[in-house]
Amino acid sequence: MKLALTTLLTFSLLAPINAQTATAPRPAQHTQAQPWTKIPIPPLHAFTPQKPKRIELANGLVIFLQEDHELPFINGSILIRGGSRDVPATKTGLVSIYGQAWRTSGTASISGDDLDDQMEDKAASIETSGGTASTSLSWSSLTPDFDLVFSRALDLLLHPDFKADKLQLAQQQLATGIARRNDDASGIAVREAIKLVYGADSPYARQPEYATVLAVTLADLQAWHDRTVVPNNIIVAVSGDFNSAQMEAKLRAAFEPLHRGEPFPTTNVTFTDPKPGVNFAEKSDVNQSNVLIVGLGTERRNPDYYALSVMNEVFSGGFGSRVVQDVRTKLGLAYDVEGAYGASYDHPGIFYVLAGTKSASTVPAAKALEAEIERLKTEPPTPAELRKAKDQLLNSFIFHYDSPDKILNEQVTLAFYGYPLDFLDQYKAGIEKVTSADVSRVANKYIDQSKLATVVVGNESQITPKLDTLGPVHTLDITIPPPPHNEQAQ
């Protein structure tokens, strides 16, 4: 108020002076020199990532080696095919439990707790985890400690000793997450959006419940391990301070004796577009809404991947994007706006745009998001928008792969999903070739508003106008099924 009052007084005092001098001739205005505009901007250098050494053993196991002598560390990972999408629905949560209990249980020769102490003494680590398409074991150590740490990691890979108390601990922790999964409104919105896009029963959208978590047994963990840990199902990657020839000899000695097993089958999933409409989940303890508009995305192997990437940057790529500038900055309808045209490696990603807004702005914010989606299809990017989007993509891209370790991890991922090893090399040229017409073409080809669903999570009593002004509203059931036999998960 003080600042506003001061401004008002200043304006009042200056107004008469301005009025008196309005008709007086003004001195010639000189254009301020802008020498920085004359500084030439050189083109980006060619992107030639340092290729790791690739070795394939006779038993099918693949090894990647990447020397990096900047620091005296060696990092390793073992990526194993098979993840949460590959387990029965009645055992949803098994891979997450497995990823935890595998490490905490330890092996027949050393318990997980003793392994913790040994790794702490060496400033080293060994970790296991479970994901959607894979499970993994990783380790890190100082160069002199590699042999000890690697031997422990290999022992854990080949001789795990799953223990009942560690299984129970993992189940309890997962059950705690289930009990609290409706605490956060944004978490609810994302979860329900994924279910709408892929289908509630899809292996990409299933969520663990008390019953499925408690159904996991020690025998399940061992059976999963025996099924997946075979050499032709594994990619080993090592980076850091070592000699490649010596490291190859050590890894061959460790892995060549393993016998080839049954290859892990490819998961076949059918994807259909979500049903259009408004889907609402009540969250009565909030005074704001989370609004998402979602649909199927694409795969990275799609020839239109580069044009879609530029389209995405124009549409929702940061503060300068259309959706942020219009919905947040100009209209002031949301404090948080973002989006993406998702591209996964071996299945469609998710196209989404979201806004976090106060309850009273829910409907206007949703309509504004819809308008931006439509404008993306009808208004090709301007030369300035196109140039900015491509520059942002290329300038940020290099920072994703600015170290040998990052490049190695990406090469492992590409190999895991069957992509050509020069996929990264193609990115720069692919983005540079995209035109405004390409962006307009893919926007109209891949975005169909009749195949998009809307999710709103908020306090219905505070939403005005009502959601049905957007169309028919379907109420989402987000209740958590109780544990079987009314047993309370701890």
Q: Return the closest-CA partner of residue 251 out of 159, 127, 153.
A: 153
By the 8 A CB rule, do 237 and 112 touch?
no
Model pLDDT, residue 50: 77
Architecture of domain 53-255: 2-Layer Sandwich (3.30)
Torsion of the alpha carbons at 297, 300, 304 and 308, rounded to the nearest 10: 50
pLDDT at 29: 52
DSSP lists the bridge partners of residue 63 as 55, 236
Q: Which candidate, 279, 133, 269, places its Cα nearest to that of 196?
A: 279
The domain spans of the chain are 53-255, 277-475
State the DSSP string of 345-404.
SSSEEEEEEEEEEEGGGHHHHHHHHHHHHHHHHHSPPPHHHHHHHHHHHHHHHHHHT-SH
Give yes or no for a contact between 157 and 233, defined as CB atoms under 8 angstroms apart: no
pLDDT at 6: 35
The class (CATH top level) of 277-475 is alpha beta
d(CA 13, CA 310): 51
Instruction: List Cα–Cα distances, 151 to 65, 104, 240, 409, 455, in angstroms.
Output: 18, 17, 17, 22, 49
Domains 53-255 and 277-475 share a fold: yes
The residue ranges of the chain whose pLDDT is under 70 are 1-32, 44, 47, 486-490
Judging by DSSP bridges, how do beta strands 73-81 and 134-142 pair with one another?
Answer: antiparallel
Backbone phi and psi for residue 162, each to the nearest 5 degrees, phi listed first: -65, 130
As given in the structure block, the two tokens for residue 23 are 């008709």
Taking the C-alpha atoms of residue 273 and residue 351, their distance in angstroms, rounded to an integer, is 11
**DSSP class of residue 53?**
E
Question: What local confidence, expressed as pLDDT, does residue 40 receive?
Answer: 82
pLDDT of residue 43: 74
443-456 exposure pattern, b = at least 16 Cβ within 10 A, e = fewer = beebbeeeebbbbb
Reported as a single tens digit per residue, the pLDDT across 321-337 is 999 999 999 999 999 99
Confidence at residue 148, expressed as pLDDT on a 0 to 100 scale = 98
Distance CA 67, CA 186 (A): 42
